[in-house]
């Protein structure tokens, strides 16, 4: 007996209704586009999963040096936090001032402000060679070569001392000689003239002597005081002092000599 | 004894001779050699040195201390040397305008009291070819080792001129040695 059911009506050979032939499932966007690259990536990962270090490598000797490297890093970290370097006292307080001073000097660093005389470098070699010769000369001839007699300097001291000290042992007082000599000389001449005139009048009338006799004593004194010569005065003084054997002051002076002297002085 | 003490003792009549004795002891050799190198002959140097110190005795009271004592002494000594040498030139009927010291060559050649060697004689001969003042500057710089500033105070010439004069003197001596080898 065939079952008479409606379950299989319109299903054809599969016995399903047409409405069931629609796929009710969905997939993400671009799923099938990315699917092949995803599958390849999974295959590659599977390959690496199989290796011992998971695909990573390290430099040679890395693990042997790792310990010392880590210790050094640790020390540096400690030093970073501790104040290893020191600065002088008040360094930072003076630093600004020093920097400003350096800044002010900066323009003067460039160029050379010193000058040299004209032709200095041209003459320099010449001067250096002269200095070299001078040094050689000093080696050859350090002293002048002159010599002195034995004990000369002791003798020199004595001689100089004698010359400078001796005159002071006999102090000489200076008198106001000039005025005194003037009048004394004038008196001397006046006396001589007077005597000469007298003799002339008595013995030989002589025009020259009579001319002299007419000159007054005051005029003679004034003339002598105005035009005296110290050498002559000294000579007259010596004559005045030398009384012995002269028969009186100025008596040995000839009248002609006196007249010549007076004419000379004119 | 310090120069200042010598001057102050000299100012007092009671200690004047003592002060002068110290001054002689301190400076007579320096002044003598300064003079001797200029006048060459010992006897001439003796006369000039005595004249110098007699002048010092007479004028030290008036010394104003505007320079060092030794520069004052050197100035007197230098002036006396130049005066003496001028008189010597006059006696030999030489012109005072003739600046060289060649007239002293005979004195050097004949003079006694020279115990130098050939090099020293040659140097002295070379020096006599220089003008008097240049020779003076050379002596003070080379033999007496005075500074240019000190020499300037003594001779009254600028330091620059003295340096030039000394340099020229050395050059002339160098030429003399080269041509008289």
Q: How many structural domains does chain A have?
A: 1
In a domain, A37, yes or no: no
**What residues of chain A lie within 8 A of the CB of B167, using their CB?**
127, 130
CA B12 to mean position of chain CA atoms: 30
A74 interfacial to chain B (CB closer than 8 Å)? no
Report the gap between the CA of A126 and the closest CA in chain B (Å).
Answer: 9
Residues of chain B contacting A165 with CB distance shorter than 8 Å: 17
Residues of B engaging A, defined by a Cβ cutoff of 8 Å:
17, 20-21, 24-25, 28-29, 32-33, 36-37, 40, 42, 46, 49-50, 53-54, 57, 113-117, 119-124, 139, 142-143, 167, 170-171, 173-174
pLDDT over threshold 70, residue B98: no
Give the residue-averaged pLDDT of B46-67. 91
Query: Each residue of A192-204: pLDDT tens digit?
Result: 888 877 776 665 5
- Sort out which chain A residues have CB atoms less than 8 A from B50's CB and list them: 156, 159-160, 163
- A223, part of any domain: yes
Residue A163 near chain B (CB below 8 Å): yes
Query: Which residues on A lie below 8 Å from B47 (Cβ)?
Result: none
Q: What is the pLDDT of residue A245?
A: 47
The average pLDDT across B158-178 equals 94
* Nearest C-alpha in B relative to A124: B167
Residue B100 phi, psi (nearest 5): -75, 165
Mean pLDDT of A105-119: 73
Q: Do A146 and B32 touch (CB under 8 A)?
A: no
Q: Which of helix, strand or coil describes residue A188?
A: helix
- Give the span between the Cα atoms of B158 and B161, in whole angstroms: 5
Q: What's the sign of the alpha-carbon dihedral A14, A18, A19, A21?
A: positive
Residues of B in contact with A147 (CB under 8 A): 113-115
Q: CB-based contact (8 Å) between A61 and chain B?
A: no
Model confidence band, residue A263 (pLDDT cutoffs 50, 70, 90) = low
- Residues B143 and B140: their CA atoms lie apart, in Å, by 6
Do B88 and B37 touch, CB atoms closer than 8 A? no
Chain B residue closest in CA terms to A127: B167
Residue B126: Cβ within 10 Å count: 21
A10 pLDDT above the threshold of 60: no
| pLDDT score at A33 | 87
* B-interface mutation test, from A123, A136, A145, A150, most B Cβ less than 10 A away: A145
Residue with token string 């009579």:
A210
C-alpha to C-alpha distance for B156 and B136, rounded to whole angstroms: 13
- Residue ranges of domains in chain B: 3-179
Whether residue A196 lies inside any domain: the answer is yes
Residue B38: which pLDDT band, with cuts at 50, 70 and 90?
Answer: very high
Helix (H, G, I), strand (E, B), or coil: what is residue A145? coil
pLDDT at A246: 47
| Domain-embedded: residue A207 | yes
pLDDT band at residue A65, thresholds of 50, 70 and 90?
confident
Give the pLDDT of residue A6: 52
B90 pLDDT band, cuts 50/70/90, is confident
Does B1 score more than 70 pLDDT?
yes
Chains A & B: contacts with CB separation below 8 Å: 91
Q: Are B80 and B51 in contact (CB under 8 A)?
A: yes
pLDDT per position as a tens digit, A68-98: 888 888 888 877 766 667 788 888 888 888 8
Task: Examine the pLDDT at A140 and tell me if it is beyond 50.
Answer: yes
SS3 state at A120: helix
pLDDT value of residue B72: 95
**Residue B170, pLDDT above cutoff 90:** yes
Q: Sorting pLDDT into bands at 50, 70 and 90, what band is A105?
A: confident
The residue range of the domain holding A240 is 177-265
Q: What is the SS3 assignment for B32?
A: helix
Predicted pLDDT of residue A12: 52
On the question of pLDDT at A257 being above 70, the answer is no
Least Cα distance to A263 among A208, A221, A197 occurs for A208
pLDDT for the residue A250? 53
Answer whether residue B148 shows pLDDT above 90.
Answer: yes
Q: Which residue has the higher pLDDT, A215 or B163?
A: B163
Chain A closest-CA separation from residue B129 CA (Å):
16
Measure the CA dihedral B150/B155/B161/B166, to 10°.
-80
Instruction: Compute the average pLDDT of residues A236-259.
Output: 55
* Complex ipTM: 0.84
Identify all chain B residues contacting A127, using CB atoms and an 8 Å cutoff: 167
H-state helical runs in A61-165: 62-81, 91-109, 120-140, 152-165
Those of residues 103-132 in A touching chain B at CB distance below 8 A are 126-127, 130
Q: Measured on CA atoms in the order A28, A30, A35, A37, is the torsion positive or negative?
A: negative
CA distance A86 to A106: 28
Query: What CATH number has the domain spanning B3-179?
Result: 1.10.1740.10
Residue A233 has pLDDT above 90, yes or no: no
- DSSP reduced 3-state for A152: helix
* Chain B contact present for A76, CB below 8 A: no
For B31-168, strand residue ranges (E) read none
Give exposure, B72-81, as e/b (b: 16+ Cβ within 10 Å): bbbebbbebb
B158 pLDDT above the threshold of 70: yes
* Mean pLDDT score of chain A: 73
- Coil/strand/helix, residue B52: helix
A123 vs A121: CA distance, rounded Å: 5
């Amino acid at each position: 007996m065939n079952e008479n059911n409606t379950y299989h009506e319109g299903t054809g050979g599969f016995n399903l209704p047409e409405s069931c032939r629609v796929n009710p499932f969905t997939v993400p966007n671009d799923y099938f586009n990315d699917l092949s690259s995803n599958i390849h990536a999974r295959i590659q990962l599977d390959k690496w999963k199989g290796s011992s270090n998971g695909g990573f490598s390290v430099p040679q000797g890395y693990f042997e040096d790792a310990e010392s490297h880590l210790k050094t890093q640790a020390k540096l970290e400690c030093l970073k936090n501790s104040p290893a370097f020191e600065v002088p006292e008040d360094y930072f307080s003076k630093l600004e001032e020093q920097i400003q001073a350096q800044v002010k000097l900066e323009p003067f660093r460039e160029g050379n402000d010193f000058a040299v005389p004209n032709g200095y470098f041209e003459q320099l070699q010449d001067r250096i060679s002269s200095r070299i010769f001078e040094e050689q000369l000093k080696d050859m001839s350090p002293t002048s070569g002159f010599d002195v007699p034995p004990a000369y300097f002791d003798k020199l001291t004595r001689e100089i001392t004698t010359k400078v000290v001796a005159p002071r042992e006999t102090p000489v007082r200076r008198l106001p000689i000039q005025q005194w000599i003037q009048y004394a000389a004038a008196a001397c001449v006046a006396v001589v003239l007077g005597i000469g005139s007298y003799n002339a009048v008595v013995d030989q009338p002589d025009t020259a002597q009579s001319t002299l006799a007419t000159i007054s004593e005051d005029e003679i004194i004034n003339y002598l005081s105005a035009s005296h010569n110290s050498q002559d005065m000294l000579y007259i003084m010596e004559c005045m002092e030398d009384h012995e054997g002269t028969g009186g002051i100025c008596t040995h002076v000839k009248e002609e000599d006196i007249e010549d002297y007076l004419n000379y002085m004119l | 004894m310090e120069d200042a003490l010598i001057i102050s003792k000299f100012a007092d009549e009671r200690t004047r001779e003592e002060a002068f004795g110290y001054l002689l002891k301190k400076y007579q050799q320096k002044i003598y050699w300064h003079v001797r190198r200029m006048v060459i002959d010992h006897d001439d140097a003796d006369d000039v040195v005595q004249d110098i110190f007699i002048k010092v005795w007479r004028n030290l009271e008036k010394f104003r201390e505007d320079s060092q004592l030794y520069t004052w002494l050197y100035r007197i000594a230098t002036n006396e040397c130049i005066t003496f040498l001028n008189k010597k030139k006059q006696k030999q009927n030489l012109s005072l305008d003739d600046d060289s010291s060649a007239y002293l060559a005979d004195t050097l050649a004949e003079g006694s009291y020279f115990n130098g060697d050939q090099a020293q004689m040659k140097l002295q001969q070379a020096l006599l070819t220089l003008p008097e003042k240049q020779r003076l500057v050379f002596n003070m710089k080379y033999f007496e080792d005075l500074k240019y500033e000190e020499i300037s105070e003594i001779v009254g010439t600028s330091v620059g001129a003295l340096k030039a004069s000394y340099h020229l003197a050395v050059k002339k001596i160098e030429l003399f040695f080269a041509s008289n080898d």
